[in-house]
């Protein structure tokens, strides 16, 4: 039954034999093709993963549809589904070390973060939606109709879930848990660079009692498989997290097909530091905001906006502190910054910095690759002196790169913060809480952190505005994406005879 085999290899998990999981069976791609999975910390192959074909996607959709139509999952009560989802969470915790090793060596995450953030959050997400599955209710409205009526929320059917490389297990859980809680079946395609944790999760779902065909995993090349999932007539809804460029194509196709779609896209968050901020708090927030997950964080704070009076003291501390943030091997407990996900992505981030320099930016710290074990490391980098329309300010670099701009007034800070096409996460550092609330109201973003950066929880809804997409994940709001409402009106001669 196993889709992956874990074995010790110089202390790092080696994962081999990744296969597709379709209709409750582990299979090879119909073409037999496989691709290498690379550990970004060493550049070495650690596993192989099946490269699915369009025919495999069609088989996965057929299995998902058959399971949905059979009612084996979709007809269960919320309480029955919750019982299974609670087991999923328990098995994630039981296999947490294996999952953390897979996530760490697949994405290049420091192992400590993979354990306490990625895997733990995935378990909590299943627990949370297991609870919500038991609280869903229909409605009986107070109408003037000569009828008895009720409104229910039903599962949508087959959900196509497309997830990105940077938080594979968290972002899989944030789609699967609400989708399954509401009775849907799922076809999931993880990012091509990071397919490993999804295969372990598939085993966990099976062991927890999710019926065959309710969860289906296809790994392989993004455009070919993703486009087929999006356009497949038997896929009823798309849950997409990824770049704005791909999300725009996915949303356009879904628009053409009138297919509901949830989009969670790119960001380049502004972190506003007012002169009255506590310096230590502001420094910690500024660093955390741009180095976490090596800056490969949609909600990163990569545009530091500093009020003029605090600019010099803040920059003096940052210039000292940032080079000292531990960067290195992902299996060392003290590491904060690991490698970038791939050589391709390292070249992309490096290209942004080189162009920023050519555009007049001054690299205050970093600005270069780091050689270690053949991994894809880039040093944390701070760039000052860029114009607001510079590429590195306006676009999502998706690496540990911070740009710094100065402002004088609150109005100016808000205008700068809102001046890009993205709107996902922003931060406000100030000791004046009334000012924080006044500014938060005017920032175009889905989540705003005051005096800190990055706190998240499965109960706390997040999502974007503008080109960061229009999805909402976590919290009860996410359930709306995975259900549709239906009203039933039963003519009754005396509407007051029933229902009141």
Catalytic residues, by residue number, are: 175, 264, 298, 473
Scanning 114-122, 277-285, 308-316, 463-471 for contacts with ligand NAD by CB under 6 A, the matching segment is 463-471
Rounded to a whole number of angstroms, the minimum distance from the CB of residue 68 to ligand NAD is 22
Shortest Å, Cβ 495 to ligand NAD: 45
Say if residues 76 and 17 touch (Cβ distance below 8 Å): no
Q: Rule CB under 6 A: choose which of 19, 87, 115, 189 binds ligand NAD.
A: 189
Please classify residue 391 by burial: count the beta carbons closer than 10 Å to its beta carbon, then call 0-12 exposed, 13-18 middle and 19+ buried: middle
Interaction of residue 464 with ligand NAD, rule CB under 6 A: yes
Give me the residue whose beta carbon is nearest to ligand NAD. 226
266 interacts with ligand NAD by CB under 6 A: yes
Shortest spacing between CB 292 and ligand NAD, in angstroms? 12
Strand bridging mode 44-50 / 269-273: unpaired
| Number of other CB atoms surrounding residue 93 within 10 Å | 16
Selected from 192, 206, 331, 444, the binder of ligand NAD by CB under 6 A is 192
Angle at 300 between CA 298 and CA 302, to 5 degrees: 125
For residue 101, give both structure tokens.
């090793």
- Cβ proximity to ligand NAD: between 41 and 445 the closer is 445
User: Using the rule CB under 6 A, is 343 a contact of ligand NAD?
Assistant: no
Q: Tell which one of 243, 248, 281, 451 touches ligand NAD (CB under 6 A).
A: 243
Half-sphere exposure of 295 (CA within 13 A, CB side): 27
Q: Is 249 in the site for ligand NAD (CB under 6 A)?
A: yes
According to CB under 6 A, which one of 18, 168, 213, 267 is a site residue for ligand NAD? 267
| One residue of 227, 231, 410, 412 binding ligand NAD per CB under 6 A | 227
Q: Which stretch binds ligand NAD (CB under 6 A): 39-47, 186-194, 309-317, 406-414?
A: 186-194
> Tokens 């994940």, residue?
473
Q: Contact region for ligand NAD (CB under 6 A) — 39-47, 158-166, 254-262, 492-500?
A: 158-166
- The closest alpha carbon to 369, from 380, 356, 355, 357, belongs to 380
Q: How many binding residues for ligand NAD (CB under 6 A)?
A: 33
Instruction: Name the one range near ligand NAD by CB under 6 A: 147-155, 219-227, 323-331, 435-443.
Output: 219-227
165 binds ligand NAD (CB under 6 A): yes
Between 250 and 413, CB nearer to ligand NAD: 250
Query: Nearest distance from residue 399's CB to ligand NAD, in Å?
Result: 11
**What CA–CA distances, in Å, run from 214 to 21, 74, 186?**
11, 9, 6
Should residue 265 be labelled a site residue for ligand NAD when binding is judged by CB under 6 A?
A: yes
- Does 164 bind ligand NAD (CB under 6 A)? Our answer is yes
- CB-CB contact of 463 with 446 (8 Å): yes
Positive or negative CA dihedral for 464, 468, 471, 476? negative
Q: Is 264 in the site for ligand NAD (CB under 6 A)?
A: yes
| 186 sits near ligand NAD (criterion: CB under 6 A) | no
Residue placing its CB nearer to ligand NAD in the complex, 367 or 464: 464
Per CB under 6 A, 248 contacts ligand NAD: no
Taking CB under 6 A as the criterion, the residue among 35, 49, 53, 166 binding ligand NAD is 166
Of the candidate residues 108, 226, 367, 375, the single one contacting ligand NAD (CB under 6 A): 226
The alpha carbon of 30 is separated from its chain's Cα centroid by a whole number of angstroms, namely 29
Stretch binding ligand NAD (CB under 6 A), from 76-84, 259-267, 276-284, 319-327: 259-267
Choose, by CB under 6 A, the member of 298, 318, 322, 390 that binds ligand NAD: 298
| Least separation in angstroms between CB 238 and ligand NAD | 8
61: contact with ligand NAD by CB under 6 A = no
- Is residue 400 within the footprint of ligand NAD (CB under 6 A)? no
Binding to ligand NAD by residue 241, rule CB under 6 A? yes
Write out the residues near ligand NAD by the rule CB under 6 A.
Answer: 162-167, 171, 189-192, 222-223, 226-227, 230, 241-243, 246, 249-250, 264-267, 298, 396, 398, 424, 464, 468-469
């Amino acid at each position: 039954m196993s889709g992956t085999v874990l074995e010790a290899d110089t202390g790092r998990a080696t994962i081999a034999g990744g296969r597709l999981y379709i209709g409750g069976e582990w299979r090879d791609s119909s073409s037999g093709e496989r691709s290498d999975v690379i550990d970004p910390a060493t550049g070495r192959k650690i596993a192989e993963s099946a490269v699915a074909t369009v025919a495999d996607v069609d088989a996965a959709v057929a299995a998902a549809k058959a399971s949905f139509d059979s009612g084996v999952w979709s007809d269960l009560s919320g309480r029955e589904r919750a019982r299974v989802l609670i087991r999923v969470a328990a098995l994630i915790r039981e296999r947490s070390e294996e999952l953390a090793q897979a996530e760490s060596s697949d994405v290049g995450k420091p192992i400590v973060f993979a354990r306490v953030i990625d895997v733990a959050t995935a378990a909590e997400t299943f627990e949370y939606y297991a609870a919500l599955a038991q609280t869903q209710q229909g409605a009986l409205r107070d109408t003037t109709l000569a009828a008895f009526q009720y409104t229910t929320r039903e599962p949508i059917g087959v959900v196509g879930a497309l997830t990105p490389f940077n938080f594979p297990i968290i972002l899989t859980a944030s789609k699967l848990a609400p989708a399954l809680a509401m009775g849907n079946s799922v076809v999931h395609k993880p990012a091509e660079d990071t397919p490993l944790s999804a295969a372990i999760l598939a085993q966990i779902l099976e062991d927890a009692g999710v019926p065959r065909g309710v969860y289906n995993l296809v790994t392989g090349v993004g455009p070919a498989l993703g486009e087929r999932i999006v356009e497949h007539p038997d896929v009823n809804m798309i849950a997409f997290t990824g770049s704005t460029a791909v999300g725009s194509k996915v949303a356009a196709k879904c628009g053409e097909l009138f297919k509901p779609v949830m989009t969670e896209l790119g960001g380049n968050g502004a972190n506003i530091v007012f002169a009255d901020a506590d310096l230590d708090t502001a420094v910690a927030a500024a660093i955390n905001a741009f180095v976490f997950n090596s800056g490969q964080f949609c909600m990163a704070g990569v545009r530091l906006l500093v009020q003029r009076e605090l600019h010099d003291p803040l920059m003096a501390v940052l210039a000292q502190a940032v080079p000292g943030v531990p960067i290195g091997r992902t299996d060392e407990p003290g590491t904060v910054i690991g490698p970038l996900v791939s050589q391709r992505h390292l070249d992309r981030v490096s290209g942004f910095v080189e162009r920023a320099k050519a555009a007049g930016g001054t690299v205050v710290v970093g600005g270069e690759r780091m050689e270690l074990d053949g991994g894809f490391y880039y040093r944390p980098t701070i760039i000052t002196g860029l114009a607001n329309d510079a590429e590195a300010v306006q676009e999502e670099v998706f690496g540990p790169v911070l740009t710094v701009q100065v402002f004088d007034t609150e109005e100016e800070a808000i205008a700068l913060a809102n001046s890009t096409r993205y709107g996902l996460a922003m931060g406000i550092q100030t000791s004046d809480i009334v000012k924080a609330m006044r500014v938060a109201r005017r920032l175009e973003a889905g989540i705003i952190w005051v005096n800190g950066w990055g706190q998240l929880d499965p109960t706390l809804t997040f999502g974007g505005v503008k080109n960061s997409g229009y999805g909402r994940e976590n919290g009860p709001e996410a359930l709306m994406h995975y259900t549709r409402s239906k009203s039933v009106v039963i003519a009754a001669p005396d509407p007051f005879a029933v229902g009141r």
